[in-house]
C-alpha cells in the first residue's frame, strides 16, 4: 500500500481496515483524503487476498463532511491538492468494485460523511452518533449520488424529508429507516463491522460476491424484470459449473471451512467485469 497521509490501512485475514485519519479535523474530507481513499479502494479491490473492506474514523468522529477550511470545499489548501498517480474518488464507483465495503460509522457523519458510506454496501452505526445530509443548510444541494440512491434505500417519503430539511438524526433513527443495517453502542461499531467482514472473508466465494454485488446495483437501474431474470439464470448456471461451486458443496457436506481458489478479479465473466 502507498504511504498515505490521511488514511491508515491494515490488512489481516482477508479483511482490510481503512481508517480516515484526520482526527484533529474530525476526519473532514479534503482533496488529499479523497484521492487517497480512491487509491486505497482501487488497490485493495485488485488484491485477491482482500475479501472485504471496513472503513472507520480515527477518534470520536467518522467524517464531519467536507473540509470547509480549504479555499473551496474540495479546493487546494497546501498539500491537499491533486496527487499525481492517484485516481480521484469521483472516478471510482464503489458499486463497480468486486469487494464489499462496510462502513463502521463510529461517530458523527454529516454531508459527504454520509453520502460516501451511502455508496458502500453495508453500514453499521453508533446508535448515538449525529448523522445528517446537511447540504441545504449550507446553501448547497445533496451530492454524492444521494438524490438518486437515498430514495432507493429508505423510500421516497423518508428520503425527501432528510434531504429537504438537512436535519441531524441519530444512528438509532438511521437503523429504524433502514439507512444502516444495525445501530449499536459506540464501542461495538468496529467489532460488529469486523464480524460481518470476517464472515464474508471466511465463508463466501469471491467470484459469487463480485457477481452478486455487480448485478444488485445494475438491477437498481433497470425496469426490465424479465431481462434481469434471464441474466440471473445465465450467470447462476455459469457459477454452478465453476470449481468454487463444487468446493462450496463439498465443504458443506464434509462440514469443513471452504477453500476458494477462483479470483474475484480474473475469473468472473466478461459481462460483469
| 151: CATH | 3.90.226.10
Give the C-alpha separation, 100 to 53, whole Å: 6
Is the C-alpha dihedral spanning 116, 175, 221, 94 positive or negative? positive
Residue range of the domain that includes 94: 7-201
C-alpha cell at 25: 479535523
Number of domains into which the chain is organized: 2
Give the C-alpha separation, 7 to 66, whole Å: 16
Same domain, 151 and 191: yes
Q: How high is the pLDDT of residue 77?
A: 45
Q: Which residues of the chain have pLDDT under 50?
A: 71-80, 89-90
Q: How high is the pLDDT of residue 91?
A: 65
Q: What is the DSSP letter of 17?
A: E
At 84-113, the pLDDT tens digits run 555 554 467 899 999 999 999 999 999 999
Q: Is residue 2 part of a domain?
A: no
At 46-80, the pLDDT tens digits run 999 999 999 999 999 999 999 987 544 444 444 44
Q: How high is the pLDDT of residue 39?
A: 92
| 222: CATH | 1.10.12.10
Q: How high is the pLDDT of residue 70?
A: 59
Q: How high is the pLDDT of residue 2?
A: 77
Same domain, 98 and 151: yes
> Taking a C-beta distance cutoff of 8 angstroms, is the pair 244, 205 a contact?
yes
Same domain, 173 and 228: no
Amino acid at each position: 500500500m502507498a504511504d498515505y497521509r490521511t488514511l491508515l490501512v491494515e490488512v489481516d485475514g482477508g479483511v482490510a481496515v481503512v481508517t480516515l485519519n484526520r482526527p484533529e479535523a474530525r476526519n473532514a474530507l479534503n482533496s488529499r483524503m479523497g484521492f487517497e481513499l480512491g487509491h486505497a479502494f482501487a488497490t485493495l479491490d485488485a488484491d485477491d487476498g482482500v475479501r472485504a473492506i471496513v472503513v472507520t474514523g480515527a477518534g470520536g468522529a467518522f467524517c464531519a463532511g467536507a473540509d470547509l477550511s480549504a479555499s473551496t470545499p474540495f479546493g487546494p489548501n497546501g498539500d491537499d491538492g491533486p496527487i499525481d498517480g492517484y485516481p480521484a474518488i469521483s472516478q471510482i464507483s464503489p458499486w463497480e468494485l468486486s469487494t464489499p465495503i462496510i462502513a463502521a460509522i463510529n461517530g458523527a457523519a454529516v454531508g459527504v460523511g454520509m453520502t460516501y458510506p451511502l455508496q458502500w454496501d453495508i453500514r453499521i452505526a453508533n446508535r448515538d452518533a449525529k448523522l445528517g445530509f446537511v447540504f441545504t443548510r449550507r446553501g448547497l444541494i445533496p451530492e454524492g449520488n444521494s438524490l438518486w440512491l437515498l430514495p432507493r434505500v429508505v423510500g421516497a417519503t423518508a428520503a425527501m424529508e432528510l434531504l429537504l430539511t438537512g436535519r441531524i438524526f441519530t444512528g438509532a433513527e438511521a437503523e429504524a429507516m433502514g439507512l444502516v443495517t444495525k445501530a449499536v453502542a459506540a464501542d461495538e461499531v468496529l467489532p460488529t463491522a469486523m464480524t460481518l467482514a470476517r464472515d464474508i472473508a471466511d465463508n463466501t466465494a469471491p467470484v459469487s460476491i463480485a457477481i452478486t454485488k455487480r448485478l444488485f446495483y445494475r438491477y437498481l437501474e433497470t425496469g426490465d424484470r424479465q431481462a434481469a431474470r434471464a441474466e440471473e439464470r445465465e450467470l447462476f448456471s455459469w457459477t454452478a459449473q465453476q470449481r468454487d461451486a463444487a468446493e462450496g458443496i463439498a465443504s458443506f457436506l464434509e462440514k469443513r471451512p471452504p477453500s476458494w481458489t477462483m479470483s474475484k478479479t480474473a475469473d468472473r465473466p466478461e459481462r460483469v467485469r
